[in-house]
């Protein structure tokens, strides 16, 4: 699962774009700067001066002029005083006395300060803000904070470490990647083998008192024929496949990430194929709900840089999330910052308006955030993100998971899905 090119680049629903989220836009910065300049320059614009008049340039010129006139005119005191008084009245005007002027300045300054404060709090929304002022309820994180997710001893990093014990990178890769809980991906198109593989993982996790994360990834026309192409040949075959997947889980507890990219990639399909994809996802949700009653089902919902929240919510509804799903999965195999995915995920949940739904976020490789151009295929300079945990502290956000197995190529550094030790090691730096 690798192709992450946005269908509508830079859009992310009510939460803003991935490229601007978390910092001010041009017009917002301009607005704040104008307000601050207004606050600083207001007294001068009103012609009142912020300093005592004798300290200003105009005051000095007027004082020198008055002294010169007094010297030239000598004892013409009365007329000079009357002249000065007349000039002062003309300069100051007769509408307001000086104290009234100061009061107006203070009131206008307070108004500007209030506007600046409002602008600052508006332009820096708190984490989780989704632009919806309604008090739509979001559920508490579903999993207890003590939840321990399953670490598969046969994950790709662990297999490489066992085969290369003397490699100088082995110790770091083992501690930072191989020993961390991460999802198990199921892509084998043989229904019988998939059922056996799933059953083995959930039984092993149950024996260790851990919660496994399972990725169902065999939808027809997978990845639009790109790096991670494959999957079942048709809808009928997929129905049989997901049936075997669900039977493998059985009565065990599990987290299921349902078909990464399947909904975000709809526009690469013809209309008939789109209808079949909706049918496939709806059938998968119904089958899992019926045959794996203790599994928690998260429909993949792309990421914050892909589709508007309203569009994704509409697709999720057509795929059956309102009937069969427990939540959405975000940022799978991508690099977007967690805070951006939180905002986007809460936007999608509010669009769906189903208080029971939550979200999980893939943090496996987002420790450095995305590249400036949001490159999705093995970009350099990325880092491991927050280790898997149910301790999110954010209503609506159930867990941070490592869905993508760190070190596996996206299709550019090597064949998609192949573990690359050099890539894995760089993620740990």
- Out of 152, 190, 261, 300, which one is annotated catalytic? 261
167 is catalytic: no
Q: Please state, in angstroms and rounded to a whole number, the distance separating the CA atoms of residues 296 and 298.
A: 7
326 is catalytic: no
Q: What SS3 class is residue 339?
A: helix
Cα–Cα distances in angstroms (integers) from residue 338 to residues 8, 48, 127, 304, 342, in the given order: 21, 50, 10, 10, 6
- Out of 167, 188, 223, 326, which one is annotated catalytic? 223
Cα–Cα distances in angstroms (integers) from residue 399 to residues 148, 184, 404, in the given order: 11, 16, 15
223 is catalytic: yes
SS3 letters across 280-320: HHHHHHHHHHHHCCCEEEEEECCCCCCCCHHHHHHHHHHCC
Edge-to-edge, what's the strand order for the sheet holding 327-330?
A: 184-186, 213-216, 254-258, 295-300, 327-330, 358-362, 397-401
Q: Could you tell me which residues come within 8 angstroms of residue 304 by beta carbon, excluding any fewer than 6 positions away? A: 12, 15, 18, 21, 330, 331, 336, 340, 341, 343, 344
- Out of 340, 378, 398, 410, which one is annotated catalytic? 410
End-to-end CA distance of the chain: 24
Residues with catalytic roles: 223, 261, 410
């Amino acid at each position: 699962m690798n192709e992450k090119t946005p269908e509508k680049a830079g859009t992310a629903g009510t939460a803003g774009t991935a490229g601007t989220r978390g910092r001010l836009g041009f017009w917002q910065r301009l607005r704040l700067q104008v307000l601050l300049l207004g606050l600083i320059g207001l007294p001068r614009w009103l012609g009142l001066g912020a300093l005592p008049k004798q300290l200003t340039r105009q005051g000095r010129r007027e004082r020198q002029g008055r002294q010169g006139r007094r010297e030239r005119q000598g004892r013409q005191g009365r007329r000079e005083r009357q002249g000065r008084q007349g000039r002062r009245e003309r300069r100051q005007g007769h509408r307001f006395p000086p104290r009234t002027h100061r009061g107006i300045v203070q009131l206008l300054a307070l108004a500007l300060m209030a506007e600046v404060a409002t602008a600052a709090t508006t332009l820096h929304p708190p984490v989780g803000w989704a632009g919806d002022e309604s008090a739509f309820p979001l559920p508490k994180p579903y999993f207890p904070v003590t939840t321990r997710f399953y670490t598969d001893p046969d994950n790709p990093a662990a297999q490489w470490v066992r085969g290369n014990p003397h490699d100088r990178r082995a110790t770091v890769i083992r501690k930072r990647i191989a020993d961390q809980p991460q999802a198990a991906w199921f892509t084998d198109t043989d229904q019988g083998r998939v059922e056996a593989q799933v059953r083995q993982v959930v039984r092993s996790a149950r024996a260790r008192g851990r919660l496994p994360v399972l990725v169902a990834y065999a939808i027809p026309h997978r990845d639009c024929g790109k790096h991670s192409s494959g999957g079942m040949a048709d809808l009928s075959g997929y129905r049989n496949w997901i049936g075997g997947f669900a039977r493998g889980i059985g009565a065990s507890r599990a987290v299921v990430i349902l078909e990464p990219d399947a909904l975000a990639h709809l526009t690469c399909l013809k209309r008939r194929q789109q209808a079949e994809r909706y049918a496939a996802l709806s059938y998968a949700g119904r089958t899992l709900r019926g045959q794996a009653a203790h599994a928690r089902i998260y429909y993949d919902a792309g990421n914050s840089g892909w589709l508007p929240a309203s569009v994704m919510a509409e697709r999720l509804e057509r795929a059956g999330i309102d009937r069969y799903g427990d939540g959405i999965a975000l940022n799978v195999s991508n690099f977007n910052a967690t805070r951006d995915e939180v905002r986007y995920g809460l936007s999608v949940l509010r669009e769906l308006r189903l208080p029971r739904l939550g979200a999980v976020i893939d943090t496996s490789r987002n420790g450095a955030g995305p590249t400036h151009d949001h490159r999705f295929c093995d970009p350099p300079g990325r880092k491991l993100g927050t280790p898997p945990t149910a301790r999110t502290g954010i209503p609506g956000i159930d867990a941070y998971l490592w869905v993508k197995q760190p070190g596996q190529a996206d299709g550019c550094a090597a064949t998609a899905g192949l573990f690359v030790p050099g890539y894995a090691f760089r993620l740990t730096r």
